Structure 1
Amino acid sequence: MTASSSTSITVETPLSEDMRAMIGELNTALGSLTPDEANYSMSAEDMDGPETTVFVARVDGRAAACGALHRHADGIGELKRFYSRPQFRGLGLARRILEHVSELATSEGLARLVLETGHNYDAARRLYEQAGFKECGPVLDYPENPYSVFYTRPLTAV
């Protein structure tokens, strides 16, 4: 990308053609790294509801990265579907989406954020750890397994 590239991050429907394509790429990538029994993918339809807010980063109008806040009971927000397309990696898009998710969760009064990620997803683990997430035991209804790593981070309401 060039210095004149235009980048935006907005809330979008997961049902658009380009979001469906990006979600398909994400599912393919995760499927190549994680056995089926430890792959907790969400389809575009799963993401299309009031409990999930999907953020999309666009570079010069092209869908480049995404991430979502999925709300659970007891003030828990879950990070879901974080992905940057290979040609857009290194631009800080996932970090910026994570900031948007965190701000939304805080403004809604959620108490904490949690997530499950793959044990071998090094870039994702670095992102979450740099953002203050701490490794923990299984969260929500995820089973413990050797392929998953769980993280949590408390939120402070504004």
Structure 2
Amino acid sequence: MKISVEYASPRHPDIKKLLLASHQLMRDLYPEETNSYLSIDELCSSDVHFLGARQNDKYCGCGALEVKSDYGELKSFFVEPQFRGNGIASLIMQEILRTSRELNINSLKLETGIGLDNALNLYKRFNFELCEPFGKYFENGFSIFMKRDLP
């Protein structure tokens, strides 16, 4: 399976489908007030680097790097269920790490939800560690916060 990871528009029909599926999953798993995903318009902001993973002509995964004043935040990581287990999330993560280094970002942070074991395992494989809430986040019983320093 040949997968390419590239800059993509959150407004692309395949990407919108992925984002809406991700948003629905978050609404199904967690109380609405604890969800902190970015809207499609917010993902189109100039401080967001949005990536899509594509097999042939179809996007099957996505992830974003939101550039903050003193760190980068991972957002909108999602792989279509039938494509999971093929290393797509790792490819997206590698590209986010490369982009972060190009932008001289020294630290990456993320917020994810309890029970998302595959996501947690991915982040741990890429040396993310648990941390305190950051930015606009607060402890809510549903969120897990992680960070990683970049060399």
Query: What TM-score comes out, normalization by structure 1 length?
Result: 0.92
Distance 1:63 1:11 in 2: 11
Partner of 2:62: 66
The aligned amino acid for 2:34 is A
- Give the secondary-structure state (helix, strand or coil) at the position aligned to 1:79: strand
Deviation of 1:13 after TM superposition, in Å, equals 1.0
Partner of 1:27: 23
- Aligned residue pairs total 151
What are the equivalent positions in structure 2 for 1:118-129 lying under 5 Å apart?
Answer: 118-129=113-124
Identity %: 31
Identify the match of residue 37 of structure 1 among 26, 33, 38: 33
Structure 2 portions without partners, runs of 5+: none
Stretches of 4+ aligned residues off by more than 6 angstroms: none
The aligned amino acid for 2:52 is V
The aligned amino acid for 2:55 is V
Deviation of 1:60 after TM superposition, in Å, equals 2.0
Partner of 2:85: 90
Deviation of 1:50 after TM superposition, in Å, equals 1.0
The aligned amino acid for 2:65 is L
- Give the secondary-structure state (helix, strand or coil) at the position aligned to 1:95: helix
Partner of 2:130: 135
Partner of 1:18: 14
Structural RMSD (CA):
0.9
Distance 2:79 2:22 in 1: 9
Distance 2:74 2:68 in 1: 11
Residues 98-143 of structure 1, C-alpha deviation per residue, up to 9 Å, x if partnerless? 1100111011111100000001111111100111000011011201
- Give the secondary-structure state (helix, strand or coil) at the position aligned to 1:138: coil
Deviation of 1:6 after TM superposition, in Å, equals 3.0
Partner of 2:47: 51
- Give the secondary-structure state (helix, strand or coil) at the position aligned to 1:142: coil
Deviation of 1:17 after TM superposition, in Å, equals 1.5
Residues 74-96 of structure 1, C-alpha deviation per residue, up to 9 Å, x if partnerless? 2x000000000011000110111
Structure 1 portions without partners, runs of 5+: none
The aligned amino acid for 1:40 is S
Distance 2:117 2:52 in 1: 22
Distance 1:8 1:18 in 2: 15
The aligned amino acid for 1:87 is Q
Query: What TM-score comes out, normalization by structure 2 length?
Result: 0.97
